[in-house]
Structure 1
Amino acid sequence: MEIAVWQICVLTVYAFFAVYDQFHFDLGLNRPLIAGWFTGLVMGDMALGLAIGATLQLMILGVSSYGGSVVPDYMGAAVIGTALCVVAGEDMGFGMGLAVPVGLLMVQLDILGRMCNTFIQHKADRYAREGDLKKIEIINLMGNLNWGLSRAIPVAVFLTFGTEITQTVLNFLPAWLMNGLKIAGGLLPAVGIAILLRYLPVRKYYAYLLIGFLFAAYLKVPMLGIAIAGTALASIAYRRAETAQPAVLTGGVDEDE
């Protein structure tokens, strides 16, 4: 199977606007879960896209870019990993084996985009000293172009040339290495869950964790059912916390006081 030209174009445009959305509207297009789902929709395998995107989402829960720091670009990784995995006809483990190094590699492109925006910012400072507000608006909009291209270009390159590279690699990779990639892909969700539990108040609310484990492991309740039960339990806990708070005294204070 090969990626059609229209699929490459759609996914490239998505990668461009996903970065723009991250800094402006925050509709969630930059989240790996949404990126994986959309890529799966375009490529014809939404289940695989959701699996890869959700696993990458688990890996970056609680991780964000503050100041000048950079984090792996798992949005682009979800797009590339899902698309090439569908093309190769492999399972999620192979897709994750592609997506994780791609996300780490694209960190360097994020740094390049920031460096280009430094030049643009200096131009905006010069226009600010000159009092040219129109040029300030235009030059700042150009910063969005750098951010978008830092993701759109590698996605286009990987999807255009990555299919042939992927097929070549698959023909030469030994079976033990392929099995290793699949095992690593199966372990990554557990790593993501462990990272999430590290930041949650598990000691205080361990009872809810045990209830969820009981539903999933022994009663075989689907994830949607567990999510609904968790929402109900969270609502009960929130109501109890509200009623346990001491009543706040109301009333005015005399002006003389």
Structure 2
Amino acid sequence: MNIEIWQIIVLSLLGFYAIVENLGINVFANQALIMGTITGLVMGDVKTGLAVGATLQLMGLGIQAYGGASVPDYMTASIVGTAFAVISGKGVEFGIGLAVPVALLMIQLDILARFCNVFFQRRIDNGIKEMNLSKIRLFHLLGTFSWGLSRGLPIFLVFSFGESIVEFISNVIPEWLTGGLSVAGGMLPAVGIAILLRYLPVKNFITYLLIGFIAVTYLHMPMFGVALLGFALAILQFKKIISERQIGNVTIATENATVQVEGGLSENEYEN
């Protein structure tokens, strides 16, 4: 399958938008799952986009750029991995295996983009000293533009030479390496689940984990059914917490009332 020029432009703009929006508070848009789904929609294979994006989303849980640190960019990786999975026709595992090195490569481009933005930041500082609002606004926009190009431009270049790159991956790279990428891609969902469990209070909710495991392994329940089961258990847990809080509030109110009764009134106060 060949990638069309309009698909290249749309996906490049998507990568540009995703990394710029990552600086804001819209946590819905800048997710690997969302980027993978949109890429799958653009490429005409939403199922592959969901599979690649969901797997990379699991890998990225618990990883944040705290303090300005550079972390693997699974959003851009989701775009590239989904597109190449569809173009090459080698499936989800191949796309995931290719996406992980892309996510790690984006760390270097992230550092380069931050380094370039220092130049604009210095100009903004001078604009603040001069109280020049137009200068502040200009360099702020230029910094945002350069930040977006750190993802949009690589995506555009990769997809512009997409056919030759896919041929290179398919024909030049040894089969054992592409096979290894596919095997690694098949293992990565388990790694993502392990990372997720590492950050969750599993010991407190081991019962729910076992219920889900039994439902999938022994009852062969589909993922949608497991999601509904989890939703039902979440409702029960929520009601349990609310009930415990209500009981606690009643107990506190009763204790306060008991203290007031025990305090009572003195004989002189009662006579008055």
TM-score normalised by L of structure 1: 0.92
Aligned counterparts of 1:51 and 1:163: Cα–Cα separation in 2: 23
Give the number of equivalent residue pairs. 251
Percentage of identical aligned residues: 49
| Structure 1 residue 177 displacement after superposition | 2.8
**Which residue of structure 2 aligns with residue 191 of structure 1?**
191
Please, which runs of 5 or more residues in structure 2 have no aligned partner? 258-272
| Structure 1 residue 68 displacement after superposition | 2.4
For 2:65, what is the secondary structure of its paired residue? coil
| Structure 1 residue 27 displacement after superposition | 5.1
Aligned counterparts of 2:2 and 2:227: Cα–Cα separation in 1: 37
Q: Is the 8 A contact 2:3 2:162 kept in 1?
A: no
| Structure 1 residue 14 displacement after superposition | 0.8
Moved more, 149-158 or 92-101: 92-101
Say whether 1:228 aligns with 2:228. yes
| Structure 1 residue 181 displacement after superposition | 1.8
**Which residue of structure 1 aligns with residue 264 of structure 2?**
none
Residue identity opposite 2:120 in structure 1: I
Please, which runs of 5 or more residues in structure 1 have no aligned partner? 252-257
Matches within 5 A, 1:9-88: 9-26=9-26, 28-88=28-88
Moved more, 175-184 or 231-240: 175-184
Aligned counterparts of 1:6 and 1:157: Cα–Cα separation in 2: 14
| Structure 1 residue 119 displacement after superposition | 1.2
**Which residue of structure 2 aligns with residue 255 of structure 1?**
none
Q: Deviations over 1:183-221 (max 9, x none)?
A: 111100000000100111111110000111111112222
Residue identity opposite 1:33 in structure 2: L
Aligned counterparts of 2:178 and 2:68: Cα–Cα separation in 1: 37
Residue identity opposite 2:105 in structure 1: L
Aligned counterparts of 1:149 and 1:178: Cα–Cα separation in 2: 29
Residue identity opposite 2:41 in structure 1: L
Q: Is the 8 A contact 1:2 1:87 kept in 2?
A: yes
Q: Is the 8 A contact 1:73 1:103 kept in 2?
A: yes
Say whether 1:141 aligns with 2:141. yes
Residues 123 and 232 (structure 1), Cα distance of their counterparts in 2 relative to 1, 3 Å cut: same
Aligned counterparts of 2:152 and 2:236: Cα–Cα separation in 1: 45
TM-score normalised by L of structure 2: 0.87
Q: Is the 8 A contact 1:81 1:98 kept in 2?
A: yes
| Structure 1 residue 118 displacement after superposition | 1.1
Q: Is the 8 A contact 2:30 2:75 kept in 1?
A: yes
**Which residue of structure 2 aligns with residue 113 of structure 1?**
113
**Which residue of structure 1 aligns with residue 166 of structure 2?**
166
Say whether 1:208 aligns with 2:213. no
Matches within 5 A, 1:94-109: 94-109=94-109
**Which residue of structure 2 aligns with residue 178 of structure 1?**
178
Aligned counterparts of 2:189 and 2:57: Cα–Cα separation in 1: 9
Larger Rg over CA atoms = 2
Aligned counterparts of 1:196 and 1:19: Cα–Cα separation in 2: 23
Residue identity opposite 1:54 in structure 2: A
| Structure 1 residue 135 displacement after superposition | 2.1
For 2:161, what is the secondary structure of its paired residue? helix
Instruction: Compute the RMSD of aligned alpha carbons.
Output: 1.7
Q: Deviations over 1:29-62 (max 9, x none)?
A: 3211111111111111111111111111110101
Q: Is the 8 A contact 1:19 1:147 kept in 2?
A: yes
Aligned counterparts of 2:34 and 2:112: Cα–Cα separation in 1: 25
For 2:10, what is the secondary structure of its paired residue? helix
Aligned counterparts of 1:19 and 1:237: Cα–Cα separation in 2: 36
**Which residue of structure 1 aligns with residue 243 of structure 2?**
243
Aligned counterparts of 1:244 and 1:85: Cα–Cα separation in 2: 49
**Which residue of structure 1 aligns with residue 156 of structure 2?**
156
Aligned counterparts of 2:175 and 2:185: Cα–Cα separation in 1: 15
For 2:68, what is the secondary structure of its paired residue? coil
Moved more, 45-54 or 228-237: 228-237
Moved more, 234-243 or 30-39: 234-243
